[in-house]
Structure 1
């Protein structure tokens, strides 16, 4: 009996001890709704209206308030009712609130007196705005706010906020590191997995209003009747949450599905086929968003196959969806062998002459940098160069080049770095963010129970949505929001401290000082700066670093590829001189001697070594910080993160050692005094093979 009592007491200690975290698997994302120490359990939620969107908004608030309320025994505070209602309501109109500037998606949350009783009002000009406001109120409460005298208002600064899923119809996610595709195409349209609703909830909570269901390397099958029905089933789930569905369209579908002999965009039969296909889609999905197109890039078909321009192809598709209010997102990622001088110049060369020639419902989608989602790239020169064309920026949330799912790399600073970059297109203050009509993120979501492959990868999904809503948000502030909703209050400061420099650490141990695309080819896992034997020059990492006995870096000045000339003159003048080029981008724009003096007083060679070592040191510091937090984190999430940090530190050292072994084979220099030699010789690093790396469909 005494033994049983002791076991019972021990069990109760585990339940009641504030230092023992509850078990979690990360499924709830930032919508955990754990107690904030205030009893909100008696707050009533009054939704004035019965639209599906208002219904789910009210349900989310009830769910959230119930979870955020303290356990029984904590004194109840005075909490007025929460009223959800659009601004057109007569009682709201009588309050003369500033709702006109909210537009179609903005919200206003305010403590008011409505018909003689104090309430917390969540209002907007549409039910979607009320939904966003409901999530904003929950975020306010989760991060320490109260219902007392609340006054919040926000309007999205970017209209189109979209996730791009690179999901294939067989369930494989290209560049996906969180398991199989979330979409079970085999059981759709019949079975609606509850995860589809939770996916929609998560996106609505951060303001994402669109999702592209299939890979940009599209299969024509995506446009057949069975798959249209499957997409329609997902659209039905997403619609109450304000999310439109889009499809990636294969440009040659009229040949593959329609039996035509051509996909020439100026052929009337081709245009008629696309119009009929669009009509078919809209019959199944009345609010279908439109098409995303990857054309004439990496072997994908496109209008240039018929000696037509990108505008010819995009405008033909735009005409097909225009009667239904649809759009075409036409990617400017044109990676082909047509510009051997410098791959970074190709998109500008092909698209700049087309400014003003695209239809009004075409948005040109431009990657954040001119090559391909590198750990750091200067902003793409097309931003600011096409004033007559709507542009949207494309970021990669999934970490194809930043360590897959196992490296902790918070991407908020990467997003902010690009969005805040001044294009100088219209003088100082012409930031990239001000050029945008939309923002797209390549999703990092899969079937893993924690959605994104790790807890910290969830932060990148969250940051993308929040910064698409408002590109001026500080990434550290966004990290604090996420951490407050993901962990207990005591963990926020140390977790944010880990996150804030994590992306810079990855840059340091992978691509310091402006190096780019030195990853192993194909799967992009691990270092491969020595690769030089692939068929096309721009497939080889040696193409991007140009390392030789004299120096390292890609000369993009007038003496090299002259890619700098694609930027506005004030920017180009700054970048032309190595002395006025930011050191973080030096080797992107200049080939400089190994002995060049740097701002630190070190030579370029010593500075490279310093950056590699700094990156490893930061990861080691994150491991120590995370180890110290073990008593305050649930076991499952702590262990997975701890394991991944160990992998990251090991692979950071691999990156450093492999890179230094190769650079020394080129420059013949010794390591600076005190620097540790690589663990193996260069031949050992070159011999490593990873034939089944994830996210790389064969």
Structure 2
């Protein structure tokens, strides 16, 4: 009996303890486990006092839902408001109380038609959000000329609430500055993603067209929320099979998911497709049979996808076939494809990232040399897609000299969102400052103020076709981009594609509010981390204008010693040119004279050792190791200092993030903390390996207080990563 009683007593104690624990957990604030899937569309409940302010302002919704786009806009608004405020507004056909939200177009809403709002100049995608009075009731109207504009306005309205903005006295008027706002997916048909660091391709080609993963709809929602209106489904290193009926049927299924969200589908076209899948013996763009084949192929594509956007083409670059194989020009090739899609309203985005088999004196010059002589020779539905810099998505490059140099040919910006050269998915590098640096750069082609942004939005040269492309960082990983902070680069690309004049810092704050917390004491340190992060990567990887120093092939880790191979311009030594005299690529008039490709005022600045911004110093000049920098330090000391400063900044970012423990949900906080520790370790590796290598040329001691590399140069050179992502 005593033993039984003792067992009963222990059970009772355990029960009491369990009840107490449950009570304690019930009393504690709920912690929402998150994995990043919801991106910036989390719609997490606002604080009760904040929700109480908004709820009377959105008490009633008047919105028709009788088209696919209106239906998704209506569903998004109800979903967002229900999540943010705890309840969705009542739906009605008329304004009957204060706090009504009216969404639509003059054609879909009698209330909006009666308001006679000034919607001229907003185009099909623009919108206005305005506080109005309807029959004596306070109301908010989201009005547009077409349904897609109302959808964009809906997302903007939800963003105001997500970020805690006041809804009283609204008078917002928005229209995109750029027409084509497109993601380029470098996704292959086997689901491998070239330069992808977030898992496999999200396009499950094997299960398409019958199974439409719900993820496709969420992808469309995310893009529409930031104004992206196009997606290129396949890699620019294209497979001709993408243009066969089997895959066109799959692409058409995706287009059906995206269409209500205002997103058009594009395909990368392999220039040699007439040979590979068409049975022809040539792909010569001036051959009548080839021209007919492409016209027939375009007609076929539009039967599958009536709103098909057009083709993206990489030709005569990195071994890809193109018109130069037949002695023709880029204009000849682009115009042939443009003629094929023009009857259907399609466009051709022809990439200017080219370099030939014959190695030039300076690879940075080739795109300009090939394309500027063709200015004015392209069809009006061709837009030339130009990378932000002349080499290849480096952590920092001066703006591409083509911008401003082709006034008769529309140029489309190409940014890389996936961080091929900036630490893949594990390094925090917010690219907004990099995008802004390029867009704000002054080409001076038409005097001061001739910025790259004005080239891209068409205002400098009067382009009738404008565009911006971003090489996507999206994959099958649950958090879409491989890390939490890499989502911000997708976000800021969309926002800047809509308006290239936007500032990166407010966008960082906006994203942080929607992604992590609306509390200022959380948002401020996160935004500060983000704004300094890209500069930190530049410092520990490629300071002072150095470039292309990454590991060979996979681009993982430092490789300033990379040499040999089939081409000199695939090596690091080609770009840094370090020797006992100094370091840097001389692109001044005494060197390759790449500066001459810029407008004369810019060329004079970049070409003058005393005037060139130090961030581009070694891009344009071969500089002695003892050259006195603005800091007063000799170049060698400054270089070491910059490497170390990059590591220190990452360490400080990690400390900042640790102080946010408990303010961010534990799952995402733990992942970011781990990634920051990886970044600090790898930043130190970059710093030490680079210093160990370049010291063999400078033959100078480290500055006082600077620690020597942890290992010998031979140790760093021997490291091998055969299975690094991107191989």
Normalising by structure 2, we get a TM-score of 0.93
Q: How does 1:27-38 map to 2 (within 5 A)?
A: 27-37=37-47, 38=51
Question: Deviation at 1:596?
Answer: 0.3
Per the alignment, residue 48 of structure 1 pairs with 64
The answer to whether the 8 A contact 1:391-1:438 is kept is yes
Q: Distance in 2 between matches of 1:609 and 1:471?
A: 35
State yes or no: 1:83 paired with 2:102.
yes
State yes or no: 1:212 paired with 2:239.
no
Per the alignment, residue 487 of structure 2 pairs with 458
Pick from 85, 94, 113 the counterpart of residue 69 of structure 1: 85
SS in 1 for 2:485: helix
Q: Distance in 2 between matches of 1:224 and 1:163?
A: 22
Pick from 541, 561, 564 the counterpart of residue 530 of structure 1: 561
SS in 2 for 1:356: coil
State yes or no: 1:387 paired with 2:385.
no
Q: Distance in 2 between matches of 1:8 and 1:502?
A: 47
Question: Deviation at 1:13?
Answer: 4.0
Per the alignment, residue 413 of structure 1 pairs with 433
Q: Distance in 2 between matches of 1:303 and 1:346?
A: 16
Per the alignment, residue 75 of structure 1 pairs with none
Q: Distance in 2 between matches of 1:16 and 1:548?
A: 67
Q: Distance in 1 between matches of 2:409 and 2:186?
A: 26
Question: Deviation at 1:17?
Answer: 3.4
State yes or no: 1:646 paired with 2:677.
yes
Per the alignment, residue 697 of structure 2 pairs with 666
Question: Deviation at 1:46?
Answer: 2.2
SS in 2 for 1:501: helix
Question: Deviation at 1:79?
Answer: 6.0
Q: Distance in 2 between matches of 1:133 and 1:503?
A: 31
149-158 vs 37-46, which moves further: 37-46
Pick from 435, 438, 445 the counterpart of residue 455 of structure 2: 435
SS in 2 for 1:335: coil
Q: Distance in 1 between matches of 2:219 and 2:212?
A: 12
Q: Distance in 2 between matches of 1:378 and 1:338?
A: 25
SS in 2 for 1:102: coil
Question: Deviation at 1:520?
Answer: 1.0
Q: 5+ residue gaps in structure 2? A: 1-11, 89-96, 457-465
Question: Deviation at 1:93?
Answer: 3.6
Question: Deviation at 1:3?
Answer: 4.1
Q: 5+ residue gaps in structure 1? A: 73-77
Per the alignment, residue 35 of structure 2 pairs with 25
Question: Deviation at 1:101?
Answer: 2.1
State yes or no: 1:160 paired with 2:180.
yes
Normalising by structure 1, we get a TM-score of 0.97
State yes or no: 1:447 paired with 2:476.
yes
Question: Deviation at 1:80?
Answer: 1.1
Question: Deviation at 1:71?
Answer: 8.5
Per the alignment, residue 676 of structure 1 pairs with 707
- Which structure has the higher relative contact order (CA within 8 Å, separation 6+)? 1
State yes or no: 1:178 paired with 2:198.
yes
Per the alignment, residue 340 of structure 1 pairs with 360
Q: Aligned in 2, Cα 1:12/1:356: closer, same or farther, shift over 3 Å?
A: farther
The answer to whether the 8 A contact 1:49-1:85 is kept is no
State yes or no: 1:483 paired with 2:512.
yes
User: Alignment length, in residue pairs?
Assistant: 690
Question: Deviation at 1:669?
Answer: 1.2
SS in 2 for 1:630: coil
Q: Distance in 2 between matches of 1:118 and 1:328?
A: 47
Per the alignment, residue 322 of structure 1 pairs with 342
SS in 1 for 2:115: coil
Per the alignment, residue 4 of structure 2 pairs with none
Q: Distance in 2 between matches of 1:21 and 1:341?
A: 59
SS in 2 for 1:234: helix
Q: Which has the larger radius of gyration?
A: 2
Q: Distance in 2 between matches of 1:247 and 1:25?
A: 31
Per the alignment, residue 7 of structure 1 pairs with 18
SS in 1 for 2:523: helix
